[in-house]
């Protein structure tokens, strides 16, 4: 906790997300959070914020003494290096998702958090969505009994070819370290582990450049197995329109479906496991109630909710919604899916992080992929 | 084609299905089809039909000269032997699903069909369901463009413990040759191959006796890969209530969902593949129409539809809805899912039928499973 009543924040990386966060802070949407400095290697990106102290290098911002806290919003690989530097400089640190590209880097980043007085959080804004919060609380309360099966179809991450040609680093092993799993899905993978815990085994089919001219995965089907015997399926792609975002959960107390901002609960009058053992007819089913669980309008405070929580954690010791240490799990899931596809076999968790880092390094070194020339518009090159 | 105006049918196996078919025929629901004979090794099952010529052995019915056609409705393994005997006796033959337990037996059965004048059909009654017929015709017409992804959650096959103790042969390798894939799912697996063709690779997690005290699979998650790169997921279990029956199809022209007797089509205004290549914005999505495709009330003529079609095929040469030869595909899919689970690896199709038959034989020979004593009610033993 600082003694100041205001937290001075520095944002490193003024791309889409950094710029969006900066505007919200300048607009006063985050009480007690002040945008004190920004950094980007691309000077054009700093021009919109002339009145804010700025740096071309994130490391200079970190060392400048102008901020109490840092938000790292750069491309993926530098989350690790800048996050470590920020923590080592004694600054509160908020890292965009994914916290790192692979499990070993996550471990290095998390190991740098030695001072528990520093607030260390990750931008998992979807944890503020009331639907997912409700599902988590229903499970934790015991209302649903044990979870038996999960099916998450999250294929509404449609991106056009233009998206991938708009940035030279995009969708490359060297630039992003993966495709839909590393860029779009960290939120979903985080919610998956946050709500259901980690699986013990992952078997995945990843398709590389199936829908787009890219070298990384743009379509994934993964089977998950949990320690208690529960099963899961996670399906994602950037190649589908309109796509689907539907989370189905079968549990001892019936079924939950989260889709289109609604949470529908088909509640069995008896635990399914009990009914099955005691029914005197082979085809009988337990009675059910159709329950619509009301949710607040909208999808929660999202990014601003995480920024408020980060600020309040610094000023008042508020519990974090998304501690950065938990960010390793979504990375481990993404890595495990890719590893399973590379090796064409199931992957047991915990993942061997060193083995995965070696495979990823080889992908980068052996890459022969050449970004196609962009038609119209400029290529925005990787600036970190 | 026979010269008679009426087909004299013999039903072998008067369990649930055989009895149900017999009643429908006696009630006159199938024009020009006469129930001429029945057979069952259990005399109690024949008592309800005292006026019908009856036999204890199916082979005797086949040889009796009292029938033009045979419906084989016995437990699974004998579909092959009785089906072959019926065809070799020159009788039109309708086989309950699955046509055999494993691919090699299917091949033996199909090879016995040497006389093309004989009508040889399978009881895939769900092919009469208007929703699935419409999906198939939409795909065949080209309206949907190429199919990109399938997700079929078919988990509404709930069965209680009582169901499995009600028959000594039920849910054993020796009695049924499998669990939910062989008993409940042949319909869904048949529709899957009928509508989408056969995948080239299957990777499955089968759980044996997860929800019930049985030795065979009662929960399955399978990933499918198709020759054109399309992917599929097939999920089934007898352990869930209320369960789900939801078929989602992502295609170049948007998305189809079949659920609760409705067919919902979210149609993109442009083919997704074209839109992706031509859009000038990375996040733009194609416009969509929400289309409810009207379907007739109910789920089609089902079993009686197949019986009518079988009769008309014999009398008038009507094209079969479900030629028995196509029944090998659903068996091959079920076998491949089990084989993948046994071997803990993906299985390429076409399946090596001999290898699978060996593994299944070993399962039967090495079985140490003992059926639990039934509480109340009698155990109905395997009669074939």
Please tell me the least confidently modeled range out of A9-13, A203-207, B293-297: B293-297
Cross-strand pairs, A208: A217
* A107 and A229 co-located in one domain: no
DSSP assignment, residue A80? Answer: H
- The Cα of A161 is separated from the nearest Cα of chain B by a number of Å equal to 5
pLDDT at A95: 98
Q: Which of B151, B286, B344 sits opposite A241 (nearest CB)?
A: B286
CB distance B233–A237 less than 8 Å?
Answer: no
A347 strand-pairing partners: A202
Share the mean pLDDT of chain A.
95
A18 in a domain, yes or no? yes
Contact A120, A113 (CB under 8 A): yes
Beta-carbon contacts of residue B250 (< 8 Å; ≥ 6 apart):
A155, A240, A243, A244, B147, B148, B149, B150
Report the pLDDT value the prediction gives residue B232, as an integer from 0 to 100: 98
Q: Do both B267 and B183 map to the same domain?
A: yes
Q: Distance (Å, rounded) from C-alpha B201 to C-alpha B226?
A: 7
The backbone region for B16, taken as left when phi is positive above 0, alpha when psi lies in -120 to 50, beta otherwise, is alpha
**A141/A28 same-domain check:** no
DSSP A212-242: SS-SSEEEEEEEEE-TTS-EEEEEEESS-SS
Establish if A276 belongs to a structural domain: yes
Residues B251 and B183 in one domain: yes
Pair (A176, A34) in one structural domain? no
Contact B238, B178 (CB under 8 A): no
3-state secondary structure of B348: strand
> Which candidate, A54, A52, A119, A56, places its Cα nearest to that of A83?
A119
* CA–CA separation, A55 and A45 (whole Å): 11
Q: Provide the total of helices (H) and of strands (E) in chain B, helices listed first.
A: 13, 15
Query: Do the chains contact at A160 and B284, CB–CB below 8 Å?
Result: yes
Name which of B295, B279, B290 is nearest B254 in CA terms: B290
Residues A209 and A347 in one domain: yes
B268 part of contact set with chain A, CB < 8 Å: yes
Quick one: pLDDT band at residue A373, thresholds 50, 70, 90?
low
Nearest CA in chain A to B219: A231
Nearest C-alpha of chain B: how many angstroms from A251?
A: 8
Q: What are phi and psi of B341, to 5 degrees?
A: -70, -45
Q: What is the ipTM of this complex?
A: 0.95
User: Has residue A210 been placed in a domain?
Assistant: yes
User: Is residue B375 assigned to a domain?
Assistant: no
- Minimum distance, in Å, between the CA of residue B278 and any CA atom of chain A: 8
Judged by CB atoms closer than 8 Å, whether chains meet at A244 and B250 is answered as yes
A340 plus A208 within the same structural domain: yes
Is there a single domain that holds both residue A316 and residue A343? no
- How far is it, in rounded angstroms, from Cα A301 to Cα B353? 56
- Whether residue A137 lies inside any domain: the answer is yes
Domain shared by B47 and B153, yes or no: no
Do both B149 and B180 map to the same domain?
A: yes
Separation between Cα atoms, residue A69 and residue A92, nearest integer Å: 4
Question: CA quadruple B20, B22, B26, B28: dihedral positive or negative?
Answer: positive
pLDDT tens per residue across span A230-267? 999 999 999 999 999 999 999 999 999 999 999 999 99
Domain assignment present for residue B2? The answer is: no
Rounded distance, CA A269 to CA A287, Å?
A: 5
pLDDT reported for residue B169 = 83
Angstrom distance (rounded) from CA A244 to CA A375: 30
Residues of A numbered 132-161 whose beta carbons fall under 8 angstroms of chain B's beta carbons: which are they? 148-149, 151, 153, 155, 158-161
On whether both B175 and B238 belong to a single domain, the answer is: yes
> Are residues B229 and A207, on separate chains, in Cβ contact within 8 Å?
yes
In this predicted structure, what is the pLDDT of residue B377? 40
**Is B373 among the domain residues?**
no
Q: How many domains does chain A have?
A: 2
| CATH code of the domain containing B117 | 3.40.50.720
pTM of the predicted model as reported, rounded to 2 decimal places: 0.95
Instruction: Tell me if residue B305 falls in helix, strand or coil.
Output: helix
pLDDT in tens, chain B (384 residues): 445 589 999 999 999 899 999 999 999 999 999 999 999 999 999 999 999 999 999 999 999 999 999 999 999 999 999 999 999 999 999 999 999 999 999 999 999 999 999 999 999 999 999 999 999 999 999 999 999 999 999 999 999 999 998 877 889 999 999 999 999 999 999 999 999 999 999 999 999 999 999 999 999 999 999 999 999 999 999 999 999 999 999 999 999 999 999 999 999 999 999 999 999 999 999 999 999 999 999 999 999 999 999 999 999 999 999 999 999 999 999 999 999 999 999 999 999 999 999 999 999 999 999 887 654 444 443 434
Q: Which of A19-33, A298-312, B362-376 has the lowest mean pLDDT?
A: B362-376
Which residue bears the tokens 């370290």? A177
DSSP state of B64: S
User: Which residues, at least 6 apart from B320, have a Cβ–Cβ distance to it below 8 Å?
Assistant: B119, B121, B309, B310, B313
Chain B residue with minimal CA distance to A152? B151
Q: Please state at what angle helix A302-316 crosses helix A16-26, rounded to 10 degrees.
A: 60
A220 phi/psi in degrees, rounded to 5: -140, 135
Domain that holds residue B32: 7-125+301-323
Q: How far apart are CA A329 and CA A313, in angstroms?
A: 22
- CA gap A218, B148 in Å, rounded: 13
What's the mean pLDDT in A171-175?
95
Closest-approach residue (CA) in chain B for A265: B242
Please name which of A24, A91, A104 lies closest in space to residue A59, comparing C-alpha atoms: A91
Does A383 score more than 50 pLDDT? Answer: no
Instruction: Specify the 3-state DSSP secondary structure of B203.
Output: strand
Q: Do A149 and B240 touch (CB under 8 A)?
A: yes
Q: Which of A94, A100, A83 is nearest to A332 (CA)?
A: A100
Tokens, residue A380: 């925005």
Same domain, A103 and A165: no
B380 located within any domain:
no
Cβ-defined contact of B239 to A148 (cutoff 8 Å): yes
CATH of the domain at A222: 3.30.360.10
**A262-285 as b/e, with b when 16 or more CB fall inside 10 Å?**
ebebbbbebbbbebbeebeebebb
């Amino acid at each position: 906790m600082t003694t100041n009543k205001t937290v001075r924040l520095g944002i490193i990386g003024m791309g889409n997300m950094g710029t969006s966060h900066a505007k919200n802070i300048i607009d006063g949407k985050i009480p007690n959070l002040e945008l004190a400095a920004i950094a980007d290697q691309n000077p054009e990106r700093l021009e919109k914020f002339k009145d804010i102290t700025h740096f071309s290098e994130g490391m200079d911002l970190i060392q400048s003494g102008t901020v109490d806290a840092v938000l790292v919003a750069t491309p993926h690989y530098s989350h690790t290096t800048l996050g470590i530097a920020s923590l080592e400089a004694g600054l509160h640190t908020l890292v965009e998702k994914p916290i790192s590209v692979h499990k070993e880097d996550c471990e290095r980043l998390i190991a740098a958090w030695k001072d528990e007085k520093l607030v260390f959080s990750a931008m998992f804004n979807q944890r503020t969505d009331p639907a997912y919060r409700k599902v988590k609380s229903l499970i934790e309360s015991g209302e649903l009994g044990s979870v038996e099966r999960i099916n998450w179809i999250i294929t509404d991450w449609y991106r056009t070819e233009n998206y991938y040609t708009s940035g030279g680093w995009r969708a490359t092993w060297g630039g992003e370290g993966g495709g839909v799993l590393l860029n779009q899905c960290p939120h979903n993978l985080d919610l998956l582990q946050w709500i259901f815990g980690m699986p013990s085994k992952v078997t995945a089919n990843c398709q590389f450049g199936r829908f787009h001219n890219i070298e990384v995965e743009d379509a994934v089907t993964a089977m998950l197995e949990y320690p208690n015997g529960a099963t899961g399926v996670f399906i994602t792609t950037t190649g589908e329109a309109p796509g689907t975002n539907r989370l189905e959960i079968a549990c001892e107390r019936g079924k939950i479906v989260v889709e289109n901002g609604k949470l529908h609960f088909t509640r069995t009058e008896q635990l399914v496991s009990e009914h099955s053992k005691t029914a005197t007819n082979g085809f009988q089913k337990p009675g059910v109630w159709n329950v619509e669980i009301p949710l607040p309008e909208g999808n929660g405070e999202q990014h601003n909710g995480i920024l408020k929580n980060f600020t309040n954690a610094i000023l008042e010791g508020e519990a974090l919604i998304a501690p950065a240490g938990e960010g390793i799990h979504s990375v481990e899931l993404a890595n495990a899916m890719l590893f399973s596809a590379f090796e064409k076999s199931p992957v047991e968790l915990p993942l061997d992080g060193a083995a995965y880092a070696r495979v990823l390094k080889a992908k980068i070194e052996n890459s022969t992929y050449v970004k196609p020339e962009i038609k119209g518009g400029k290529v925005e090159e990787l600036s970190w």
